[in-house]
Every structure is written in structure tokens, then in C-alpha cells.
Amino acid sequence: MHREEKARRVRGMFSSIAERYDLANTLLSLGRDATWRRFAARVAEIGEGSRVLDVATGTGELAFEAAKRASLVVGADFSAEMLALAREKAERRGTERVKFVLCDALHLCFADERFDAALVAFGLRNFADPERALRELVRVVRQGGRVVVLEFTLPPNRFLRWLYSLYFFHVLPFLGGLITGRREAYAYLPRSVAEFPPPEEVVARMEKAGLENVRYHLLTHGTVAVYVGLRK
């Protein structure tokens, strides 16, 4: 699929499920999605005074988690529908530490070394050009700052992989369709995960983008990976 075509389809898909996106995430992950975000924010090692970028922020849940530790968090996404919901949440919660901007991950609208850390949750595999997106994340982070990637992966254990695939490829699209009315979006999800490279290759791509000391943590029986690297 051509880059522009993939970007158009992904934007349309996420915009179409925006209203029920949070509910679907919680139900389909069996409530584990909040734990994964907390872990990603923790390993970013951000603290008071830090400026953090959350790319592919969606409805802002990772941005709000990061704001518990940082002084300023900017959530960026290319779906206006997702950002509208994120801004509504920020207003309801009365948080002033989080700002949301409409911005493409392949062309981040920020100056070099603007942030102390950059995070992306479940977005890297959806980008039309993941390598370019990684370079952009590295560009906007200061030297020594952290880039954290939270992404689905396939369990290394064969039996668990079989069980996971059974749920992921058959049960999840059905349930996702019931919750959101958009079964095709949740049929896309397992396909995109299956096509995404294994953790070792993701590490290599992050290193090529300009990061060092890249490592990863497997969570929830190896169904999710959190990658962490330092900008050289």
C-alpha cells in the first residue's frame, strides 16, 4: 500500500471509532491498557520540569498519564476527531499540563530538541513510514532524552502465541465490531501486529534512527513490548 493511501486509511479508521475508542481499548485489553501506559510513562524517567511529547496521542490517555510526572505534555495526532475528545477530557479533568495539537508524526511541527522525552503508544506500526517517524521523534528530543515506544507484539512462547492469535484474529474483531460498529478496524489491528517486525528488529530500527542503549520490556506474557532508547 502506498504511503499516502495508508495514512489516509488509518486516519479515516481511527476517526470513525473515536467515540468508542477508550471503551474498546479497556474491554479488549481486559483492563490492562492502563497498566501498560503507566509502565511506559515510568520508564521514560520524566519528572517535574520535564517537557514531554506524546505522538499518536489519540484521546490522550498516555499524555494524561505522563502529565502526572511532567510539567508540560504535548499530545500530537493527525485525527481531529480523536483530538476533540482528548481536549474534552482535559477540560473535564481541569488539567493545564496537557496541550493537544493536530500534527503528523512524519512531519512533527516542533523545533529540534524541544522535549525531554517523546512517547508513542500503539502508533508506530500504523505510520506510513515508521523509520521516518522514529527519526522525527529523535529529532525533537534533547541529547540524552528518552524515546519510548509502546507496541503490541506476538508472544515468544508458542502455546501462548497460539492462544493469543486465536483471540486476536477471531474474537477481537468480532468484539471490536460489536463495541464500535467498525469490525474492519479491529480486523486491521491483528493484521498490522502480525506484519510488524519482532522486538529485536524494532531495537535495530531505533538505533538506526539515532538512539543508543535501546532495550525492551515484554509485558502481559509477551503480548506488549515497551522499547526505551536514549538520544545520542
- Which residue has cell 471503551? 23
Regions of the chain where pLDDT drops below 70: 1-4, 7, 10, 13-15, 17-18, 20-21, 23-24, 27
What is the second-level CATH architecture of the domain 3-18+29-154+196-231? 3-Layer(aba) Sandwich (3.40)
Claim: this prediction has a pTM higher than 0.75: yes
Residue 198 DSSP class: P
State residue 191's pLDDT score.
86
For residue 154, which of 114, 186, 134, 125 has the smallest C-alpha distance? 125
Classify burial at 111, counting beta carbons within 10 Å of its beta carbon; exposed 0-12, middle 13-18, buried 19 or more: exposed
pLDDT in tens, 98-151: 999 999 999 999 999 999 999 999 999 999 999 999 999 999 999 999 999 999
- In the sheet that holds 98-102, the strands lie side by side as 98-102, 72-77, 51-55, 115-121, 141-152, 224-231, 211-219
**Domain coordinates in residue numbering, the chain:** 3-18+29-154+196-231
pLDDT in tens, 59-68: 999 999 999 9
**What count of other Cβ atoms lies within 10 Å of the Cβ of residue 12?**
12
Q: How far does CA 35 lie from the centroid of its chain? A: 14
